[in-house]
């Protein structure tokens, strides 16, 4: 998986599974116009819940229910901002160290961290992760099963060697990923359940740029993002001549996606055998749209009549546990989090001369 600096495309989970996720995302950068040197976000089920950046130096909630959580625990929230300030310096130190490894003294560069956990509410299965990327490419990641680090390129090997030798830090990382993160996630789900667990069906349209272009089945306004959109012929899913797009976020917190059908293999007399089917996790009834020429909205012969609003998810929103601090504040009084955010680990990530 590539860790991108700006665009974080939301993946589709199994429609039948009830899987929740907690992600802390952070980006340190240099030479990027109009972007703070450090930006981070906390996300639950791929919904942004809090934001911090170097310019504001404040951890702020971005959901109504997160605002309520902040109001209920104001002192802890203030502590979260203080913690974010420290994390900002730690990430910057790691960033400078990795730039030295690549001999990058100037230009545009970025350093990203994604940490968190997935939790299957039905089976109680957990999966924790820490991934670090540099300039949009994987750099190093934590293997939870072996409590060791995986280097993605030659430059990361020196970092892996140092991190692997820190047995205590890696054991603590395992505890953090398998116990503390899940505790955070469950508390956040309790506060945001009415919003996070809602289901919203989309509007579905058939679009075509010109008579020779593929037919696009576009669905927008659905929630959650655990959804499928497919083309079927006589009730059987098609794969040949079909191009499926990514699930993308809308500005209102809902999602959109599209799937194209190449018409070169579709005879006009067979159109009634084709349909676009939308499936949403938690909803038993599918939305089926028959392939009908009369229902296709086309741009041919004039200016654009349909504008597909794509709101890009900026991943520079925070690896800091913006809201989860409520749970682990007391624990961090004893020791900082055991990932690459840990000052002891960060120090190892800065190569010496």
Phi and psi dihedrals of 232, rounded to 5? -130, 150
Question: Which is more confidently placed, 281 or 16?
Answer: 281
Give the percent of the chain with pLDDT over 70: 78
Are the CB atoms for 351 and 97 separated by under 8 Å?
A: yes
In CATH terms, 203-298 corresponds, of 3.40.50.410, 2.60.40.10, 2.40.30.210, 1.10.150.120, to 2.60.40.10
Sequence ranges of the chain with CATH classification 3.30.500.10: 19-196+314-349
Residue 50 has pLDDT above 60, yes or no: yes
Query: So what's the pLDDT on residue 17?
Result: 54
Residue 5 pLDDT > 80, yes or no?
no
User: pLDDT by residue (tens digit) across 177-236?
Assistant: 999 899 989 989 999 988 888 899 999 999 999 888 999 999 999 998 889 999 999 999
Which residue ranges does the chain devote to CATH 2.60.40.10?
A: 203-298
Distance CA 253, CA 271 (A): 34
What's the pLDDT tens digit per position in 74-133?
887 787 777 778 878 888 888 999 999 999 988 999 999 999 999 998 899 999 999 999
Alpha-carbon distance of 12 to 321, in angstroms, equals: 23
Sign of the alpha-carbon torsion through 293, 299, 300, 302: positive
How many angstroms separate the CA atoms of 296 and 305, rounded?
A: 12
Contacts of 107 (CB under 8 A, 6+ apart): 30, 31
227-233: strand order across its sheet: 236-237, 227-233, 274-280, 287-290
| CA–CA distance, 76 with 59 (Å, rounded to integer) | 11
Q: Name which residue leads in pLDDT, 301 or 272.
A: 272
Q: What Rg, from alpha-carbon coordinates, does the chain have? A: 23
Which DSSP category does 201 fall into? P
Q: pTM of the entire structure?
A: 0.68
pLDDT per position as a tens digit, 24-37: 998 999 998 888 88
User: What is the structure's pLDDT at 333?
Assistant: 42
CA separation for the pair 27, 41 (Å, rounded): 9
- CB-based burial label for 166 (10 Å; 0-12, 13-18, 19+): middle
CA angle 41, 258, 243 (to 5 degrees): 110
Q: What are 252-298's pLDDT values in tens digits? A: 889 999 999 998 867 666 888 999 999 998 788 999 999 998 999 98
Residue 286: CA atoms inside 13 Å, Cβ hemisphere, count? 16
Q: What is the pLDDT of residue 329?
A: 38
Q: What is the CATH number of domain 19-196+314-349?
A: 3.30.500.10
Describe the chain by its helix, strand, coil percentages, rounded to 5: 30, 35, 35
pLDDT tens string 135-176: 999 999 999 999 999 999 999 999 999 999 999 989 989 998
**Paired strand residues for 119:** 20, 126
């Amino acid at each position: 998986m590539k860790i991108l600096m700006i665009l974080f495309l939301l993946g589709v989970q199994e429609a039948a599974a009830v899987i929740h996720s907690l992600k802390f995302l952070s980006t340190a950068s240099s030479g990027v116009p109009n972007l703070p040197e450090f930006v981070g976000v906390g996300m639950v089920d791929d919904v942004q819940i809090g934001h911090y950046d170097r310019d504001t130096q404040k951890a702020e909630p971005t959901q109504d229910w997160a605002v309520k959580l902040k109001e209920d625990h104001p002192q802890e929230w203030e502590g979260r901002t203080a913690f974010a300030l420290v994390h900002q310096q730690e990430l910057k130190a790691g960033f400078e160290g990795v730039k030295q490894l690549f001999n990058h003294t100037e230009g545009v560069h970025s350093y990203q961290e994604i940490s968190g956990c997935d939790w299957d509410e039905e089976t109680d299965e957990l999966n924790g992760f820490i991934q670090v990327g540099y300039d949009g490419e994987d750099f190093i990641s934590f293997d939870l099963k072996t409590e060791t680090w995986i280097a993605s390129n030659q430059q990361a090997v020196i970092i892996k060697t140092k991190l692997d030798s820190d047995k205590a830090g890696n054991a603590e990382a395992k505890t953090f990923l398998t116990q503390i993160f899940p505790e955070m996630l469950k508390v956040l789900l309790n506060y945001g359940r009415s919003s996070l667990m809602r289901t919203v069906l989309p509007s579905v349209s058939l679009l075509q740029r010109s008579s020779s272009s593929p037919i696009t089945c576009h669905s927008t306004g659905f929630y959650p993002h655990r959804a499928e959109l497919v083309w079927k012929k006589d009730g059987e899913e098609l794969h040949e001549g079909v191009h499926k797009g990514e699930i993308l976020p809308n500005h209102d917190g809902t999602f959109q996606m599209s799937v194209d059908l190449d018409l070169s293999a579709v005879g006009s007399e067979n159109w009634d055998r084709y349909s676009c089917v939308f499936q949403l996790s938690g909803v038993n009834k599918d939305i089926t749209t028959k392939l009908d020429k009369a229902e296709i909205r086309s741009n041919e012969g004039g200016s654009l009549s349909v504008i597909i609003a794509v709101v890009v998810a900026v991943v520079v929103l925070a690896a800091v546990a913006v809201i989860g601090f409520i749970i682990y504040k007391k624990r961090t009084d004893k020791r900082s989090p055991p990932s690459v955010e840990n000052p002891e680990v960060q120090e190892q990530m800065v190569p010496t001369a």
